[in-house]
Amino acid sequence: MDRIENLILRSLVHNEDYSRKVIPFIQPEYFQDSSDRVLFEEIGAYMTKYNTRPTVEALSIEVDQRLDLAEEQVKNLRMTLSDFEEVTGTDDWMMDSTENWCKKQAIYNALMESVSIANGDSKTKSEDAIPSILSEALGVSFDANVGHDYIENADDRFAYYHKTEDKIPFDIEMLNKITQGGLPNKTLNIALAGTGVGKSLFMCHVAASTLMQGKNVLYITCEMAEEKIAERIDANLLNVNIQDLKELPKTMFDNKIAKLANKTQGSLVIKEYPTASAHSGHFKALLNELKLKKNFTPDMIFIDYLNICASSRIRAGSNANSYTLVKSIAEELRGLAVEFNVPIVSATQTTRSGYGNSDVNITDTSESFGLPATADLMVALISTEELEGLGQIMVKQLKNRYNDLNYLKRFVVGIDRAKMRLYDCEQSAQDDIMDSGEEYESEDRAENTRKEKFAKLNFS
């Protein structure tokens, strides 16, 4: 009876269409038998070099020329190749059988590697890597999509243009305008501000507003205690000054919480990690644990804040420079957003030169310019004595993949620090904001300008 490995190897040699489809997905380590692994390596090397499947004769010659094989193994390989007949069976059956075999082998190898790591036998990986190793193995599949064909997939592209993207809106009008309706899934969104300007306030407010939309929210803090974050969100949602929360009677507090629970179907979970100790691997494990133990799947994740997270790829004490470290953390968090299909909101500090600056730029990002290169949206939060006196904070766009960066480049929002809240300002407050000597266009005027530019285009 033929083993599946033998059928796969024979099909790779005799079926060109099959070999081109499956070669990218099969790994040499899937073959437990060393002889099978040698044959697969030779087939793969031949196809890479000559862009066609090898003949049995060519494989025999390549095997003979291997210097790393014992004479007995070469003899066995010759015997195997002498009986390399074509596989009888449908191509679809072979594709399905090969995919199932790859999945089983990947899971088996992942389990063996995980046991080795758990026993302390690995010198390069820690136990934190186990969930990602198993997750990667479980995700093995034959994806036939090799890219978007511009002409053939035009209908798909047109449908994409007219598809309504699932977004989580803000409760601040200007933030919705610059993002065209809110934050989409699989994105990393960053607030840049100096110490004490309002990074955590911004995130707590957005977290509170997202909860009141009936969404599930996960707030990860690496800076403040869980209770401190909950206290800020209490001030926001219960409409009580943060200093007065301690004086609030228990019955009144319970009544406010009960009314709040009736207004939303969402849940908010706050999880604290020690500074610089947690990375995306820990967050991934937390998400899996929450789903298993509490049936909780977040619609949005907040991480307070990015620079004091760790990297799962760069070990502590490895002397990596700040650019590499912060860029690595940003890439891992954006990868987490993609994997769990959620928007992630985080924050970062300004540099010393940017602190107190009334016009923060993207170059004022502390430690690493790799962060704005990775983020989908990046806004600066700017506070001056004049703005503080007006109860306002300025928001300046630094990077925006959702909309034109020059549309509403700067604007102000109201801030109530006592209740940890942001709110919309009157239009007159926006009229005072200038950008390059020009006032902002109104939304209607901006739309008319876009239509005029479109009408001038000459499609021939």
pLDDT at residue 177 in the model: 94
Residue 293 belongs to domain with CATH number: 3.40.50.300
HEC sequence for the chain? CCCHHHHHHHHHHHCHHHHHHHHHHCCHHHCCCHHHHHHHHHHHHHHHHHCCCCCHHHHHHHHHCCCCCCHHHHHHHHHHHHCCCCCCCCHHHHHHHHHHHHHHHHHHHHHHHHHHHHCCCCCCCCHHHHHHHHHHHHCCCCCCCCCCCCCCCHHHHHHHHCCCCCEECCCCHHHHHHHCCCEECCEEEEEEECCCCCHHHHHHHHHHHHHHCCCCEEEEECCCCHHHHHHHHHHHHHCCCHHHHHHCCHHHHHHHHHHHHHHCCCCEEEEECCCCCCCHHHHHHHHHHHHHHHCCCCCEEEEECHHHCCCCCCCCCCCCCHHHHHHHHHHHHHHHHHHHCCEEEEEEEECCCCCCCCCCCHHHECCCCHHHHHCCEEEEEECCHHHHHHCEEEEEEEEECCCCCCCCCEEEEEEEHHHCEEECCCHHHHHCCEECCEECCCHHHHHHHHHHHHHHCCCC
As a whole number, the mean pLDDT across the chain is: 86
The whole-number pLDDT of residue 423 equals: 94
Q: Are residues 237 and 115 in the same domain?
A: no
pLDDT for residue 460: 41
Least confident of 124-133, 227-236, 310-319: 310-319
Q: 127 with 218, same domain?
A: no
Range(s) of the domain holding residue 243: 167-456
Taking only the tens place, the pLDDT of each residue in 189-204 is 999 988 888 999 999 9
Q: Place 179 in a pLDDT band, splitting at 50, 70 and 90.
A: very high
pLDDT tier for residue 317 given thresholds of 50, 70 and 90: low
As for how many domains the chain has, the answer is 2
Per-residue pLDDT, averaged over 321-337, amounts to 88
What pLDDT is stored for residue 1 in this prediction?
A: 43
Residue 75: CATH number of its domain: 1.10.860.10
Mark whether 177 and 108 lie in a shared domain. no
How confident is the model over 361-410, as pLDDT tens digits?
776 665 667 788 889 999 999 998 899 999 999 999 999 999 999 889 99
- Based on the fold, state whether residues 357 and 421 are members of the same structural domain: yes
Average pLDDT over residues 278-299: 92
